[in-house]
Chain A
């Protein structure tokens, strides 16, 4: 139907564009729903129709007739609200949100394989049911003409002008920029090395000072440039936070609760690499808060609280990291209850449990298999526990903390690195090669005598402050066995989640900031290696993947 024009090159653009329209429609629907008690807001309906109309036209141009037809049906349904024929009740919003979900799903499948068939039969019948159930179904002849949409003012379309002041750039290009930046940092280090050699051989003071000055300036510009590039990769956390408005609405309906979602510091900017990863832990924490944390309106009233619970999503910068918090004003957690549950579930010995403080007991919620409620609910159950959240946060080199007061509420605080593209690493030498161990996973480094290593049959261990620590010899792990037993060994104590271990290395080189470079796909999964980096002298150093080594 597209004649001699092939629009297949635009599939990606179309899906992204359509996603934007659906996001906008959903946002306006939420607003419409919020204002529904005061009547149907015709302006919002017009805005929704505008997006649907554009989406319909574009779908048609892409040759996606079923999509076009279904969007048209949605548009028709909205028209009927304008005439006041349809009431804005839960069924209405349910059907429309359902429709948006179906469209998102269809677009996702279409992006994966453009030959996908679209089927909106279920959603269409939901819309049909809606129209059939309206109070007095007027025939099309008797139907009053829909009110003419008022042309929107420029101010209402501020988001369009805002769009034109920004530039959409493929993230890969920004990654490339950071990569080149990494090269520059390396070359600048090489320059410093060169200067040292010059000082030894050149006697012309003036020349040396001039060289030094230029070198310093290049260093400063390099730092500034790096910071600018990091800034370009930043997006306001709002883009992730906003997605949860809908989730909170759906969850609170499902659980018969009333919840108000408050966003704080949503303009805080995060590196895209971090932003992409926080969605999942946040999802679990929010589900948990609505499901377990906040009480029903009746319970809240009985406790003298406001009927509607408040869930706050916050973000802020703190020194060298990002702090993201999920806070509810619900029932909170009772340390006593946690103590009992932990003992009942065999997580803690009764004696050990007795000696623990309230704060220590709270930490138990992150232990696998722990849940403060005995029954498993549809949303929070199914094995998604706080232990999983902690695991995700750790894998991002972050930490998570909990604070809870019985009757007052619970706050989860995640502290995450500013970016996942640059890390501080402990450089170590193993069999003549330099490896980078991410510092976030390093607890300490110790020097031990060879005789302190004990072979247990299933592997070597050492005793570190009365605790058994399994050893992993990196030279053997990477298949580059070095000298046999030495008198003195360097052990880097590392942790991943609740696992600890000691990495045996030949030498500790020092700490360094490194730019992570991914390894090419053709290398496949490399156990023990998470990436590479280029050092100041141009040699490549591999980054040690702590979780995969400890997992063995």
Chain B
């Protein structure tokens, strides 16, 4: 079901971890180190089905990314899940207001992320995208 994911996070370590976490889907993973790189990758690649987004990043942070991605029409097509270390909750709320479909707090339990992904991208097709899912309570 999941074929192409964009991961936006400024830590190389986290990218390596996502590879393990997403291993079960056998999907293509695009790595971006900041929001700007994320936008560049979206422009170049078709068929991204899910965006996993960190908030605290250099160059262009997660909130700025969501603002830009919103005006470019990406967020209405591709579900975004904010995955961020606890920090400013106002940023997370702002992110959800800007169209993020879910929020997971780092460190997260991979099982929880799997559940969330399956909810956002049910095996049958891309239904239920409007449902806002929070794996962790804010």
Residues in A lying within 8 Å of B, measured CB to CB: 1-7, 9-10, 13-14, 17-18, 50, 53-54, 56-58, 60-63, 68, 151-152, 154, 156-157, 160, 164
Contacts and interface: CB of A to CB of B under 8 A. Distances in A.
Instruction: Sort A-B residue pairs by CB-CB distance and give the 6 closest, nearest first.
Output: A60-B107, A3-B111, A57-B85, A3-B110, A5-B110, A157-B58
Interface stretch (B9-17, B41-49, B66-74, B124-132): B9-17
Nearest to B85: A57
Nearest to A9: B20
Contact of B33 (A5, A57, A63, A160): A160
Interface of B: 10-14, 16-17, 20-21, 23, 33, 56, 58-61, 64, 84-85, 87, 106-112, 114
A14 to B, nearest CB: 6
A151 B64 contact: yes
A160 B37 CA distance: 12
B56 A50 contact: yes
Contacts of B10: 50, 54, 160
Contact of B11 (A1, A4, A57, A151): A57
20 contacts: A1-B109, A3-B109, A3-B114, A9-B20, A10-B13, A10-B16, A14-B13, A17-B11, A17-B13, A50-B10, A50-B56, A50-B58, A54-B56, A57-B11, A57-B84, A58-B17, A61-B107, A151-B64, A152-B59, A156-B58
Nearest to B115: A3
A4 B17 contact: no
A53 B110 contact: no
Contacts of B109: 1-3
Contacts of B33: 160, 164
Most A CB within 10 A of own CB, among B33, B107, B109: B107
A61 B20 contact: no
B110 A2 contact: yes
A503 to B, nearest CB: 51
B11 A160 contact: no
Nearest to A17: B13
Given A2-B109, A56-B85, A68-B107, A61 B59 contact: no
A438 to B, nearest CB: 41
A374 B106 CA distance: 57
A60 B104 CA distance: 13
Contact of B58 (A4, A60, A68, A160): A160
Given A2-B110, A58-B11, 10 more contacts: A7-B20, A9-B20, A17-B11, A57-B14, A57-B85, A61-B108, A151-B64, A152-B58, A152-B59, A157-B59
Given A4-B111, A60-B106, A152-B59, A53 B87 contact: yes
Contacts of A62: 107
A20 B64 CA distance: 27
Contacts of B112: 3
B17 A61 contact: yes
Contacts of A7: 17, 20
Contacts of B16: 10, 13
Contacts of B20: 5-7, 9-10
A160 B11 CA distance: 11
B87 A61 contact: no
A57 B12 contact: no
A1 B107 contact: yes
A6 B24 CA distance: 13
Nearest to B33: A160
A151 B111 CA distance: 33
Nearest to A16: B13
Contacts of A63: 107
Nearest to A56: B85
A53 B106 contact: no
Contacts of A152: 58-59
Contacts of B14: 57-58, 61
Contacts of A3: 109-112, 114
A61 B58 contact: no
Contacts of A60: 85, 106-107
Given A5-B20, A10-B20, A58-B14, A151 B107 contact: no
A17 B111 CA distance: 25
Contacts of B87: 53
A68 B60 CA distance: 25
A5 B108 CA distance: 11
Nearest to B17: A61
Contacts of B17: 5, 7, 10, 58, 61
Contacts of B110: 2-5
Contacts of B108: 61
Nearest to A72: B86
B12 A17 contact: yes
A157 B12 CA distance: 15
A57 to B, nearest CB: 4
Most B CB within 10 A of own CB, among A13, A58, A60, A157: A58
B63 to A, nearest CB: 10
A143 B10 CA distance: 30
Contacts of B60: 151
Nearest to B63: A151
Contacts of A156: 58
B118 to A, nearest CB: 14
A288 B13 CA distance: 39
A57 B106 contact: yes
B66 to A, nearest CB: 14
A394 B114 CA distance: 58
A62 to B, nearest CB: 8
Given A4-B111, A157-B59, A53 B13 contact: no
Nearest to B88: A148
B59 A154 contact: yes
B13 A58 contact: yes
A68 B110 CA distance: 18
Contacts of A57: 11, 14, 84-85, 106-107
Contacts of B13: 10, 13-14, 17-18, 54, 58, 61
